[in-house]
Amino acid sequence: MKAKASVFYCTECGNETSKWAGRCPSCGAWNAIVEQAAPKAAGAPKGRGGMLPRARAHPIDDLSAEEEPRFPSGMGELDRVLGGGAVRGSLVLVGGAPGVGKSTLMLQLCGRLCAQNKVLYVSGEESPHQLKLRAKRLNVSSDRLLVLSETSLGDVLASVDEEQPDVLIVDSIQTLCNEALDSPAGSVSQVKDCTMALMQLAKGQGITIFVIGHINKEGSIAGPKVLEHMVDCVLYFEGDRHTTYRILRAAKNRFGATNEIGVFEMRGEGLAEVPNPSELLLSGRPQDAPGTCVACVMEGARPVLAEIQALLAPAAQSVPRRTSNGFDYNRAAMLMAVLEKRGALKISACDAFLNVIGGLTLDEPAADLAAILALASSYLDKPIGSRVAAVGEVGLTGEVRSVSHLRERLSEVQRLGFERCIVPKRRAGQLEGVRGLQLIEVSNIGEALREIARS
């Protein structure tokens, strides 16, 4: 009897190979390749056979250009990240590390949505009794919220057909399983097939679907990369388990802008929205302490103020240490080299530590000038001033370059009570409309360092 053919695939990236290997040739992950039965050969195409009707081609001029129908989720921070509310018939993927609060966020969302919508919450990880205990703790109660503890894709689709909900939440996609496939739940083929079925359900019946996905050790959604291409929106729920603040970030959004963030605080009764994250991130800031400076970065359309702290100390070993938390390590090393070469500060003999307060990750060049000033302030042991902020990009020659949305950044700086802001000289003359804020114009880091000496 002929042996059944098998294929090998990587559980990290979904790459398929003809034989097993200890390391994936595509993504380089170790011990991630597993075996599964080869799919049956496909015959002639027989049509779609799913929940979507057969598509027909239309002239583009005959198509409607109206905005997608949206409805409020009841959570202002989530609506901001989604681009103004949830879209009917959309498929949203929410990813995050274990214990960060994904299920808590979705269950609280159910409590808000039940005021105007019928919601079906499907959990493959918790029993109905566990869901009830969690809902009681979060004060979520409504007769329009239905809960189902199920892992079978067929039973979930049958429940949707029977209950006809407006919103469906699946927790999680890795636990959902189609019995028609031989592979186990969570495998590449299962995740792809279940996600395709949910996408057809969303587009065919206009049901808004939120799907929770686990992430791997690299921080990306576990399973095939095509999963993120299939859905309409990808949200990452980020945060340190040892801190109370969580950030919801949009990595992909077909109906709105990306890189928007929503800020939440984890409390005993659940997640609380933080409408003013700048004030939160600056709370408890020390007064007139050396080695600290405030930067203003853009998170989508929202300006956010963040405190950058630096500490320089004589190196205890022959090779100085370089540590960066919340700031790109390579960019921090580049700024230290610029500060030593163009600012004439001998920091190569010091251990350097750079930290962004509040768990925020700054990946925008507009924070360069604030990082430079924090490092210089720590080296000189001279405070910049508690009411001084800095905005600007720093080049390799030490020049300070302008950044986008400068007026919006300065308005946020002024709104939070700052009196002075160090800005690039090239754009400062165009900002006469910012009242109550003294603009200090600099063209290079040398002029910025002289401002520290004057303070």
What are the sequence ranges of the domains in the chain?
Answer: 6-37, 70-275, 284-454
Nearest CA among 402, 408, 396 for reference residue 305: 408
Q: Is the predicted pLDDT of residue 12 greater than 80, yes or no?
A: no
User: Where do the H-state alpha helices sit in 74-138?
Assistant: 76-82, 102-113, 128-137
CATH number of 70-275: 3.40.50.300
The type of residue at 239 is: G
Q: Is the predicted pLDDT of residue 144 greater than 90, yes or no?
A: yes
> Tell me: the pLDDT tens digits for 66-96?
777 889 999 999 998 998 899 999 999 999 8
pLDDT score, position 43: 45
Burial readout 27-56 (b: 16 or more C-beta within 10 A, e: otherwise): bebeebbeebeeeeeeeeeeeeeeeeeeee
In three-state secondary structure terms, 311 is strand
Which of 9-13, 154-158, 220-224 has the lowest average pLDDT?
A: 220-224
Q: Is-cis flag, bond preceding 411, omega within 30? A: no
The reply to whether CATH 3.30.1370.160 applies to domain 284-454 is: no
Q: Look up the pTM and report it.
A: 0.75
CA 83 to chain centroid, in Å, comes to 14
Per-residue pLDDT band at 331 (split at 50, 70, 90): very high
> Tell me: the pLDDT tens digits for 379-427?
999 999 888 999 999 999 999 999 988 888 998 899 888 999 999 987 6
Percent of the chain with pLDDT over 90: 49
Per-residue pLDDT band at 313 (split at 50, 70, 90): very high
